[in-house]
């Protein structure tokens, strides 16, 4: 409500300044016509009076020009303020939309987890399971198109920014790698919304094996 009121107020101010600018143009035009009459028409009065009239009209024209310049600058400032206001509103709307989508995706993650558990526990040769897998892949594809991305964990070097170690092997000296993924983690538009819950252990070189 406040944003709409501010927008209306800015529009009214712009219209008011435009009206003032138009009035100044009319007054300046009248002054120019008076100046032309004073300089073009023959006059019986002496030259000093004519010069005084010309100087007075010229001063008025200069004053009108200065006021017009001030009004134009005011219009430009109002336009810049309005553009900034519109950009702020767009940013706020986008931020609200992004947070709402993120909240929805977070609530869907347990559903995705249960889907995966059910599929992994079901027999492979079931046509029903194959249909469920197709529906599950469609769901994941839709979410991925909107910014959801699974975090790679198994076999990767342990990274506390993406992985949460809940269990550690006894031989965990040296460089740590993820040896088991207990719960899949996800990114949403590049931001970690759930870290992968993993088991970590020491990385074994081929010579050691």
Is residue 81 a part of any domain in this protein?
A: yes
Q: Name the pTM for this structure.
A: 0.59
Is residue 6 domain-shared with residue 92, that is, in the same domain?
Answer: yes
**pLDDT bucket at 160, cuts 50 / 70 / 90:** very high
Tell me: do 6 and 91 sit in the same domain: yes
The end-to-end CA distance of the chain, in Å, is: 69
Does any domain span residue 136?
A: no
In a domain, 131, yes or no: no
Q: Which of 49, 69, 102 is the last residue of a domain?
A: 102
Rounded alpha-carbon distances, angstroms, from residue 208 to 164, 175, 193, 201, 203? 27, 14, 37, 15, 10
Instruction: Report residue 22's pLDDT band, with 50, 70 and 90 as the boundaries.
Output: low
CB atoms within 10 A of CB 15: 10
Q: How many domains does the chain have?
A: 2
In this prediction, residues 115-142 reach a mean pLDDT of: 88
Residue 33 lies in a domain: yes
Buried b (16+ CB within 10 A) or exposed e, 161-172: ebbebeeeeeeb
The CATH number that applies at residue 156 is: 2.30.22.10
| 127: in domain | no
pLDDT interval class at 209 (50, 70, 90): very low
C-alpha 100/C-alpha 150 separation (Å) is 20
Over the chain, what HEC string results? CHHHHHHHHHHHHHHHHHHHHHHHHHHHHHHHHHHHHHHHCCCCCCHHHHHHHHHHHHHHHHHHHHHHHHHHHHHHHHHHHHHHHHHHHHHHHHHHHHHHHHHHHHHHHHHHHHHHHHHHHCCCCCHHHHHHHHHHHHHHHHHHHCCEEECCCCCCECCCCCEEEEEECCCCCCCEEEEEEEECCEEECCEEEECEEEEEEECCCCCCC
Sign of CA dihedral 19, 25, 28, 34: negative
Domain boundary among 43, 70, 102: 102
Q: Which domain holds residue 164?
A: 147-202
Q: Is residue 124 situated within a structural domain?
A: no
* Mean pLDDT across the chain: 80
- Whether residue 151 sits in one domain with residue 94: no
Give the mean model confidence (pLDDT) for residues 103-131: 88
Based on the fold, state whether residues 8 and 85 are members of the same structural domain: yes
């Amino acid at each position: 409500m406040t944003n709409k009121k501010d927008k209306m107020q800015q529009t009214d101010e712009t219209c008011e300044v435009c009206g003032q600018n138009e009035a100044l143009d009319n007054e300046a035009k009248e002054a120019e016509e008076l100046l032309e009459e004073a300089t073009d028409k023959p006059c019986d009065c002496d030259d000093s009076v004519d010069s005084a009239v010309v100087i007075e009209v010229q001063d008025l024209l200069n004053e009108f020009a200065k006021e017009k310049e001030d009004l134009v600058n005011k219009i430009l400032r109002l336009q810049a303020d309005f553009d900034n206001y519109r950009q702020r509103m767009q940013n706020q709307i986008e931020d609200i939309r992004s947070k709402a989508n993120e909240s929805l995706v977070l609530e869907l993650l347990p559903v995705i987890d249960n889907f995966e558990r059910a599929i992994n526990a079901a027999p492979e040769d079931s046509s029903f399971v194959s249909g469920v897998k197709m529906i599950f892949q469609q769901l994941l594809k839709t979410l991925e198109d909107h910014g959801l991305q699974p975090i790679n964990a198994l076999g990767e070097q342990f990274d506390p920014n993406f992985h949460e170690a809940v269990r550690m092997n006894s031989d965990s000296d040296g460089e740590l790698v993820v040896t088991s993924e207990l719960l899949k983690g996800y990114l949403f538009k590049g931001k970690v919304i759930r870290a992968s819950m993993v088991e970590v252990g020491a990385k074994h070189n081929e010579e050691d094996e």
